[in-house]
Chains A and B, each alone.
Chain A
Amino acid sequence: MSTETLEGAGLLVSRRPLMQRLWRGGLQGSEFTWAVAFTVPYIALFLAFVAYPVAFGAWLGREPSLYLELAEDPIFQRTVVNTILYVGIAVNLKMFGALLLSGFFMRRGWWVKGLLLVYVLPWALPALPAFISIHWMLNGEWGLLNNFLFNVFGMEGPGWLDTSRWLSLGAVITSHIWKWMPFWTVILLAGRMAIPQELYEAAEVDGATGLTRFTHVTFPLLANLYLVCTLLSTIFTLGDFNSVYFVSGGGPALSTHVLATLGIRNAFEVARPELGVAAVLTALPLMIPLVLILMRKLRTTEVTL
Chain B
Amino acid sequence: MTVAVDDVGPAVAVTAVPASVARGRRARRLRWWKEAGALGVAVLVLIWTLVPVYNIFMVSLESKGDVFTETIWPARPSVESFWIVITQGYWYLEHFWHQFANSFYIGVGTVFFTLVIGSLASFAIGRMRVRYGWLLSNAALLTYVIPASFLAIPFYRIMQIYGLTNNLWSVIAAEVTFATPYAIFIFQQYGTSIPIELDEAARIDGASPFQVYWKIYLPLMAPALVAVGTYALLLAWNEYLYQFLLLSSKQSMSVPVALAQFLNSDEAPWNYMMATAIIYAIPPVAIYYVFRRRMSAGLTMGGVKG
Could you tell me the distance between the alpha carbons of A128 and B284 in the complex, rounded to whole angstroms? 13
Is A122's CB under 8 angstroms from B49's CB?
yes
Interface residues of B (CB under 8 A from A): 38, 41-42, 45-46, 48-56, 58-59, 67-72, 116-118, 120-121, 123-125, 128-131, 136-158, 173-174, 176-177, 180, 182, 184-186, 189, 200, 203, 208-210, 213, 234, 237-238, 240-241, 245, 256, 259-260, 263, 270, 273-274, 277-278, 280-281, 284-285, 288-289, 292, 296, 298-306
Residues from chain A with Cβ under 8 Å of B124 in the complex: 35, 38-39
Residues from chain A with Cβ under 8 Å of B278 in the complex: 129
A24-32, A65-73, A159-167 - the one binding chain B = A24-32
Q: List 24 A-B contacts (CB under 8 A).
A: A24-B130, A38-B120, A42-B184, A56-B157, A57-B153, A104-B41, A104-B45, A117-B292, A122-B49, A122-B53, A132-B277, A133-B59, A190-B300, A195-B304, A246-B240, A246-B263, A263-B152, A277-B154, A283-B150, A302-B306, A303-B303, A303-B305, A304-B185, A304-B303
Residues from chain B with Cβ under 8 Å of A283 in the complex: 150
How far apart are A242's CB and chain B's nearest CB, in angstroms? 6
Could you tell me the distance between the alpha carbons of A281 and B296 in the complex, rounded to whole angstroms? 34
Main secondary structure of the interface of A (DSSP, over half): helix
Could you tell me the distance between the alpha carbons of A46 and B116 in the complex, rounded to whole angstroms? 15
Is B240's CB under 8 angstroms from A128's CB?
yes
Of all chain A residues, the one with the shortest Cβ separation from B185 is A304
Could you tell me the distance between the alpha carbons of A23 and B173 in the complex, rounded to whole angstroms? 32
Is B128's CB under 8 angstroms from A35's CB?
yes
Q: Determine if A85 is an interface residue (Cβ-Cβ < 8 Å).
A: no
Q: Kindly supply a per-residue 1/0 record for chain A positions 130-148, scoring 1 wherever the CB is within 8 Å of any chain B CB and 0 otherwise.
A: 1011111100011010011
Output the residue of B121, B147, B245, B284 with the most chain A CB within 10 A: B147
A1-9, A47-55, A88-96 - the one binding chain B = A47-55
Q: Assuming the A-B contacts A264-B241, A301-B306, are A42 and B149 also in contact, with contact meaning beta carbons closer than 8 angstroms in the complex? A: no
Q: Determine if A43 is an interface residue (Cβ-Cβ < 8 Å).
A: yes
Contact of A263 among B153, B259, B288 (CB under 8 A): B153
Residues from chain B with Cβ under 8 Å of A41 in the complex: 116-117, 120-121
Is A45's CB under 8 angstroms from B299's CB?
no
Is B153's CB under 8 angstroms from A60's CB?
yes
Residues from chain A with Cβ under 8 Å of B184 in the complex: 42
Could you tell me the distance between the alpha carbons of A232 and B144 in the complex, rounded to whole angstroms? 10
Q: Assuming the A-B contacts A144-B72, A232-B145, A294-B145, are A39 and B129 also in contact, with contact meaning beta carbons closer than 8 angstroms in the complex? A: no
Could you tell me the distance between the alpha carbons of A48 and B177 in the complex, rounded to whole angstroms? 9
How far apart are A266's CB and chain B's nearest CB, in angstroms? 9
Is B234's CB under 8 angstroms from A118's CB?
no
Q: Assuming the A-B contacts A124-B284, A130-B52, are A42 and B180 also in contact, with contact meaning beta carbons closer than 8 angstroms in the complex? A: yes
Q: Assuming the A-B contacts A56-B158, A126-B284, are A190 and B277 also in contact, with contact meaning beta carbons closer than 8 angstroms in the complex? A: no
Is A53's CB under 8 angstroms from B151's CB?
yes
Could you tell me the distance between the alpha carbons of A96 and B152 in the complex, rounded to whole angstroms? 31
Residues from chain A with Cβ under 8 Å of B50 in the complex: 118, 121
Residues from chain A with Cβ under 8 Å of B59 in the complex: 133, 136
Q: Assuming the A-B contacts A127-B238, A128-B260, are A121 and B38 also in contact, with contact meaning beta carbons closer than 8 angstroms in the complex? A: no
Residues from chain B with Cβ under 8 Å of A46 in the complex: 139-140, 143
Is B128's CB under 8 angstroms from A186's CB?
no
